[in-house]
């Protein structure tokens, strides 16, 4: 679940909606015809087939550094696991790819180094293991959940370095069955950092001009997963996402002038729609329109090259899956035994 930005914003990351209608406006909105299941599955199948060609012999997926890394590979495993829900006929080849990816993550000190980078990275790693049907407390003698559990800052209530990390941590704890251990302060932190326009910013600030749809959509999914689907936080967040929607049905990174629709933002927004049970057919059609002949998705209509990160981000949305992704069935990969508790205290 990478966020992709213009060059000026790439330094912020290492690297998750259709119009939210007010109650009185629902009946006035014309229904959007849903895409046929055959069309949806065709787009998803083509995207998955292309993604499989991008997996290295070692099981990894290439990240922004130009080399296979744990971050992109974790995202890739989550995407493949999501696809299994909609493509049961392709389960065998998807399982084989997931097994290779898990092996990559468990090689050498890959798991140890990546998860110690921070709570957000440990949460992503946890989500990948859970999606792959693995024990989230046991890969290569590393327990990433311990890092997540101890990753909350006491003063701010935020896990990790910002709200994107925070949302990932809430999703990871919920997916691992530890949702009841999430303190009220973690939700309070989302209330205090929601900007007046309803959105959330990556760094946790409340300046409306800094809010973005990717962080907002991921926070919405975390709120739904933690049992806050009907909260004002979600309602206001969905209203903000609606402000980033273009006439085409696609979504831009934010609501600022000049922000063009892109595949990543559209996929995040679509997942928020799926999570909240809103009409997602318009966004699904718009996301599919970013697909190239190869089956990969492009970032936007100006950057038309096949984009690995955009394709990975789009696949769960095309599969109709919001985060966190659960395994469609138990993976055939055997979890490694032995757990070393690895901690990286929060600042």
pLDDT in tens, 27-62: 222 333 334 445 568 999 999 999 999 999 999 999
Joined together, the tokens standing for residue 287 give 């996301």
Reduce the DSSP state of residue 330 to 3 states and report it: coil
In angstroms, the CA 218 to CA 270 distance is: 11
pLDDT at 215: 98
Please state which CATH number belongs to domain 36-340.
1.50.10.20
Count of CB atoms within 10 A of residue 92's CB? 9
Closest-CA residue to 55 (of 102, 94, 97): 97
Distances from the Cα of 158 to the Cα of 113, 185, 203, angstroms = 22, 8, 10
Concatenating the DSSP letter of every residue in 197-231 gives: TS-EETTS---GGGEEHHHHHHHHHHHHHTT-TTS
In angstroms, the CA 76 to CA 133 distance is: 14
pTM (2 d.p.)? 0.85
Whether residue 18 is predicted with pLDDT greater than 70 in this model: the reply is no
Whether residue 343 is predicted with pLDDT greater than 90 in this model: the reply is no
Q: What is the mean pLDDT of residues 316-342?
A: 67
Joined together, the tokens standing for residue 314 give 């789009």
User: In terms of C-beta density within 10 A (0-12 exposed, 13-18 middle, 19 or more buried), how is residue 29 classed?
Assistant: exposed
Whether residue 229 is predicted with pLDDT greater than 80 in this model: the reply is yes
Whether residue 224 is predicted with pLDDT greater than 80 in this model: the reply is yes
Residue with tokens 């990275």: 121
In angstroms, the CA 253 to CA 266 distance is: 8
In angstroms, the CA 77 to CA 97 distance is: 8
pLDDT at 238: 98
In angstroms, the CA 73 to CA 82 distance is: 14
Q: What is the H or E stretch that residue 265 is in?
A: helix 263-276
SS3 percent helix, strand, coil of the chain, rounded to 5, is 50, 5, 45
Query: pLDDT digit string (tens) for 138-192?
Result: 999 999 999 999 999 999 999 999 999 999 999 999 999 999 999 999 999 999 9
The vertex-80 CA angle with 64 and 115, nearest 5°, equals 50
pLDDT at 41: 87
Q: Are strands 61-62 and 68-69 parallel, antiparallel or unpaired?
A: antiparallel
HSE of 338 in the Cβ direction (CA atoms, 13 Å)?
A: 4
pLDDT at 330: 42
User: What's the pLDDT band for 8 if we cut at 50, 70, 90?
Assistant: very low
pLDDT at 39: 53
Query: pLDDT digit string (tens) for 67-123?
Result: 999 999 999 999 999 999 999 999 999 999 999 999 999 999 999 999 999 999 999
pLDDT at 275: 98
The vertex-223 CA angle with 79 and 279, nearest 5°, equals 70
Query: pLDDT digit string (tens) for 196-212?
Result: 999 999 999 999 999 99
Q: What is the mean pLDDT of residues 122-137?
A: 98
């Amino acid at each position: 679940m990478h966020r992709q930005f213009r060059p000026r914003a790439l330094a912020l990351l290492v690297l998750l909606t259709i119009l939210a209608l007010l109650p009185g406006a629902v009946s006035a909105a014309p229904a959007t015809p849903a895409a046929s299941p055959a069309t949806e599955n065709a787009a998803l199948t083509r995207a998955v087939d292309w993604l499989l060609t991008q997996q290295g012999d070692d099981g990894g997926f290439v990240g922004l550094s130009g080399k296979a890394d744990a971050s992109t590979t974790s995202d890739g495993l989550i995407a493949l696991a999501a696809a299994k829900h909609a493509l049961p006929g392709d389960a065998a080849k998807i399982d084989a790819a997931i097994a290779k990816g898990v092996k990559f993550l468990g090689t050498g000190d890959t798991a140890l180094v990546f998860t110690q980078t921070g709570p957000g990275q440990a949460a992503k790693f946890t989500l990948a293991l859970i999606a792959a049907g693995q024990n989230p407390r046991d890969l290569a003698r590393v327990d990433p959940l311990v890092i997540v559990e101890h990753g909350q800052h006491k003063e701010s209530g935020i896990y990790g370095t910002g709200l994107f990390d925070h949302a990932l941590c809430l999703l990871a704890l919920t997916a691992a069955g530890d949702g009841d251990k999430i303190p009220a302060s973690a939700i309070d932190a989302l209330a205090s950092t929601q900007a007046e326009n309803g959105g959330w910013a990556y760094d946790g600030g409340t300046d409306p001009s800094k809010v973005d749809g990717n962080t907002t959509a991921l926070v919405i999914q975390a709120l739904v997963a933690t049992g806050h689907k009907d909260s004002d936080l979600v309602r206001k967040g969905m209203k903000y996402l609606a402000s980033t929607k273009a006439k085409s049905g696609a979504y831009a990174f934010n609501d600022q002038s000049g922000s063009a629709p892109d595949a990543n933002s559209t996929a995040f927004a679509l997942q928020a729609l799926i999570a909240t049970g809103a009409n997602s057919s318009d966004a699904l059609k718009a996301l599919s329109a970013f697909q190239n002949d190869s089956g990969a998705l492009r970032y936007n209509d100006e950057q038309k090259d096949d984009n690995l990160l955009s394709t990975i981000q789009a696949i769960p949305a095309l599969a109709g899956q919001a985060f966190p992704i659960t395994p469609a069935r138990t993976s055939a990969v055997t979890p490694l035994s032995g757990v070393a508790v690895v901690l990286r205290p929060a600042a």
